[in-house]
């Protein structure tokens, strides 16, 4: 299938290149991801081009560039973040390192006295999402500014005569309130309004799968019971027929409480051809003594392939007939460095070396790898899947193993004076640094930094949000902040208590996770809270006692998220229930970090 009218997204390595693509499609125009090294004739095929963001500075020696002749093609061009800065530099403007980094919400002032096509329908003051360390400081000839923030003078600029626009903020994320209006305006400028929808994508994907999986080939699908693998299974069955799909559910020992039994019953009720392999002891043995997060994910990913091969041999499946199916979605690939210039935020279990080797041989099929979670859920509805499945909270393939923080990183004292300056502005606020680190994404780059903890000094979630954002923006050694609910004073010292990736500690986390999951259903929070990881930390208020982190977030596509401001009474009931029921837990934290800068999962 060939689409004649389309918008090209040039990938400069930003975390949001495919998110931009997804947003444009959902707004009614077809998109394709392009490299910055395509031929000029290739770029001429598009009705509009968007320069994505990227992790580098435009002045870095190895920063990705693009042929300047692209700017003379007489087609609309939009530069976002790095793409904005690159446009300006290419046209002889100036870009400099910013003394006021912006990660998170900002207020964009729009000059409504300069009416133009790109701001139609926007207000004079808009909430937008920023993530940058550089900024434009001088404009090229024939460019004017139509938007600015407190820390960024040229946050939105244009040469309207040539339909070239540059913006420092991210309109593609849901946290930019009217980002869809801005993007819809660009689509209209390109002349493509209403030319694409998800039903057309489904029709195209069915044909692609039929081409990708030739006659005589079948698919051995790794399923977890989550929405991604369920939609993938149903989509593969739609394209190839059920007789060519077999599901494999691996019990890793890191599943949720009673999860395996429930999944067996539910998936069989949906007529899945499902085989369940209990390999929990294998996973526990293989992860014994492992604390490094990357090593953990790589071991788990390889074990999935090993188990698949073992089960295939047990079932006498001819390896020449079978391909591996995975419910991979786009955030999995992009966070694993899935595009040419992108940073490796974290290696996902379905992007380890063994999987990549199979992909190189053309033996892996991933039917929804270009979609985001919101699109997967909508696609599930189109495929006739029950709503109870499409709204389920996501659960990582490696299970609770990536929610058990086994690596201990002693806290550092170098930034304590800087932290003290920040918290001194708030009466009764205390802050300390936990002896653990977590993964984050800041300015499109991977960060691995400490977590700060605050005492319970206010009931205002907006104040917590402001403090957390300030700490992360100002203190480089911090990329995540939690608060300790209903603890007016923090302990003078945290006891470090190592944990192992074994059954005992899995059961501790499993019990706490089950309390939280049951609580969400009981209080009708399952649709309000998009996901709520429960994380086990190797520290507590006393010896041989541990801590739990609650990570309730609001999101639609997983590339951005904000913490859920939970009702204080509900939070009190949840915390009390965990502390009362799970005797090994002495402290419960509440994660108040948005994404960016913190990833949804800690590892």
Range of the domain at 176: 7-190
Task: Give the residue numbers annotated as catalytic, written as ranges.
Answer: 81, 170, 172
Residue whose C-alpha is closest to residue 577's, from 518, 497, 505, 521: 518
Residue 359: exposure state from Cβ atoms within 10 A (0-12, 13-18, ≥19): middle
Whether residues 158 and 260 share a domain: the answer is no
Helix crossing, 568-581 with 503-522: angle to 10°?
A: 150
Residue 37 in tokens: 């090294």
CA gap 352, 301 in Å, rounded: 6
Whether residues 446 and 379 share a domain: the answer is no
pLDDT at residue 466 above 60?
yes
pLDDT at residue 309, rounded to an integer: 87
**596 domain residue, yes or no:** no
pLDDT at residue 212 above 60?
yes
CA gap 364, 347 in Å, rounded: 18
CATH number for the domain spanning 16: value is 3.40.50.880
Tokens 């998170």: give the residue. 104
Whether residues 64 and 212 share a domain: the answer is no
> pLDDT band for position 572 (50/70/90)?
very high
> In 55-193, at which residue ranges do the beta strands (DSSP E only) sit?
77-80, 94-110, 125-138, 144-149, 152-159, 164-167
* CA count, 13 A, side-chain hemisphere, 22: 25
Number of domains in the chain: 3
Q: Is residue 250 within a helix (H) or strand (E), and if so which, with residue range?
A: strand 245-251
Q: Tell me if 337 sits within 8 A of 380, measured CB to CB.
A: no
Residue whose C-alpha is closest to residue 58's, from 30, 92, 33, 23: 92
Whether residues 429 and 514 share a domain: the answer is yes
pLDDT at residue 180 above 60?
yes
> pLDDT band for position 342 (50/70/90)?
very low
**512 domain residue, yes or no:** yes
Whether residues 382 and 429 share a domain: the answer is no
Whether residues 150 and 262 share a domain: the answer is no
**284 domain residue, yes or no:** yes
pLDDT at residue 369 above 50?
yes
* DSSP 8-class letter at 242: G
**464 domain residue, yes or no:** yes
Whether residues 278 and 372 share a domain: the answer is yes
CATH number for the domain spanning 562: value is 3.30.300.10
Q: Tell me if 453 sits within 8 A of 393, measured CB to CB.
A: no
Q: What percent of the chain has pLDDT over 70?
A: 91
DSSP β-ladder status, 495-496 and 539-540 = antiparallel
Residue range 247-279, pLDDT digits in tens: 999 999 999 999 888 888 877 887 888 899 999
Whether residues 440 and 564 share a domain: the answer is yes
Whether residues 469 and 489 share a domain: the answer is yes
Helices (H), 151-258: 179-190, 198-212, 227-240
Q: Is residue 7 within a helix (H) or strand (E), and if so which, with residue range?
A: strand 7-10
CA gap 357, 72 in Å, rounded: 41
> pLDDT band for position 345 (50/70/90)?
very low
Residue range 91-141, pLDDT digits in tens: 999 888 766 666 678 899 998 776 789 999 999 999 998 876 688 889 999
**236 domain residue, yes or no:** yes
Task: Out of 329-343, 497-511, 520-534, 582-596, pick the least confident.
Answer: 329-343
Whether residues 129 and 222 share a domain: the answer is no
pLDDT at residue 143, rounded to an integer: 95
Whether residues 454 and 585 share a domain: the answer is yes
CATH number for the domain spanning 279: value is 3.40.50.620
**599 domain residue, yes or no:** no
Tokens 């709503």: give the residue. 387
pLDDT at residue 382, rounded to an integer: 92
> pLDDT band for position 41 (50/70/90)?
very high
Whether residues 289 and 327 share a domain: the answer is yes
Single pTM value for the model: 0.74
**402 domain residue, yes or no:** no
Residue 231 in tokens: 């939609």
CA gap 233, 383 in Å, rounded: 11
**411 domain residue, yes or no:** no
């Amino acid at each position: 299938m060939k689409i004649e009218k389309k918008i090209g997204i040039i990938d400069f390595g930003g975390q949001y290149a495919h998110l931009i693509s997804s947003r444009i499609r959902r707004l009614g125009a077809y998109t394709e991801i392009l490299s910055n090294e395509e031929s000029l004739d290739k770029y001429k095929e598009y009705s509009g081009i968007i320069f994505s963001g990227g992790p580098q500075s435009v002045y870095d020696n190895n920063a990705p560039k693009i042929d300047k002749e692209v700017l003379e093609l007489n087609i609309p061009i939009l530069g976002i973040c790095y793409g904005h800065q690159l446009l300006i530099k290419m046209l002889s403007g100036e870009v400099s390192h910013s003394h006021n980094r912006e990660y998170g919400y900002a207020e964009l002032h729009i000059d409504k006295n300069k009416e133009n096509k790109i701001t139609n329908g926007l207000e004079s003051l808009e909430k937008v999402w920023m993530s940058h360390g550089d900024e434009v400081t001088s404009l090229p000839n024939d460019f004017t500014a139509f938007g600015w923030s407190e820390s960024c003078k040229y946050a939105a600029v244009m040469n309207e005569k040539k339909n070239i626009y540059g913006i420092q903020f991210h309109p593609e994320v849901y946290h930019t309130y009217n980002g869809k209006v801005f993007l819809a305006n660009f689509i209209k400028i390109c002349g493509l309004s209403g030319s694409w929808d998800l039903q057309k994508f489904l029709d195209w994907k069915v044909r692609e799968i039929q081409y990708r999986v030739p006659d005589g080939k079948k698919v051995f699908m790794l399923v977890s019971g989550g929405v991604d693998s369920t939609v993938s299974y149903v989509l593969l069955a739609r394209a190839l027929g059920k007789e060519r799909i077999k599901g494999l559910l691996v019990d890793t020992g890191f599943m949720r409480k009673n999860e395996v039994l429930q999944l067996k019953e539910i998936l069989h009720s949906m007529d899945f051809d499902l085989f369940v392999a209990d390999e929990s002891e294998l996973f526990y043995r293989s992860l014994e003594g492992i604390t490094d997060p990357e090593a953990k994910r790589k071991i788990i990913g390889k074990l999935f392939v090993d188990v698949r091969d073992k089960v295939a041999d047990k079932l006498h499946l001819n390896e020449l007939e079978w391909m591996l199916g995975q419910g991979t979605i786009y955030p999995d690939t992009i966070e694993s460095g899935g595009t040419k210039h992108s940073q490796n935020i974290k290696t996902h279990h379905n992007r380890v070396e063994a999987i990549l080797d199979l992909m190189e041989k053309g033996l892996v099929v991933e039917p929804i790898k270009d979609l985001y979670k919101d699109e997967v859920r909508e696609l599930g509805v189109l495929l006739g899947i029950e709503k109870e499945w499409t709204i389920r909270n996501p659960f990582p393939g490696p299970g609770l193993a990536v929610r058990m923080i086994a690596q201990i990183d002693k806290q550092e004292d170098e930034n304590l004076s800087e932290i003290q300056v920040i918290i001194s502005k708030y009466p009764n606020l205390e802050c300390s640094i936990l002896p653990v680190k977590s993964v984050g994404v800041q300015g499109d780059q991977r960060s691995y930094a400490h977590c700060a903890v605050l005492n319970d000094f206010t009931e205002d979630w907006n104040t917590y949000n402001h403090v957390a954002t300030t700490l992360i923006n100002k203190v480089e050694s911090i990329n995540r902040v939690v608060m300790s609910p209903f603890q007016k004073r923090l302990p003078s010292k945290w006891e470090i208590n190592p944990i192992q990736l074994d059954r005992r500690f899995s059961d501790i986390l499993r019990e706490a996770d089950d309390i939280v999951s049951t609580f969400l259903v009981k209080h009708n929070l399952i649709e309000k809270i998009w996901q709520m990881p429960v994380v086990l930390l190797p520290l507590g208020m006393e010896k041989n006692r541990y801590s739990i982190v609650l990570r309730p977030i609001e999101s639609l596509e997983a590339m951005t998220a904000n913490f859920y401001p939970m009702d204080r009474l509900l939070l009190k009931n949840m915390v009390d229930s965990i502390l009362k029921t799970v005797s090994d837990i002495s402290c419960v934290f509440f994660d108040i970090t948005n994404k960016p800068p913190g990833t949804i999962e800690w590892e």
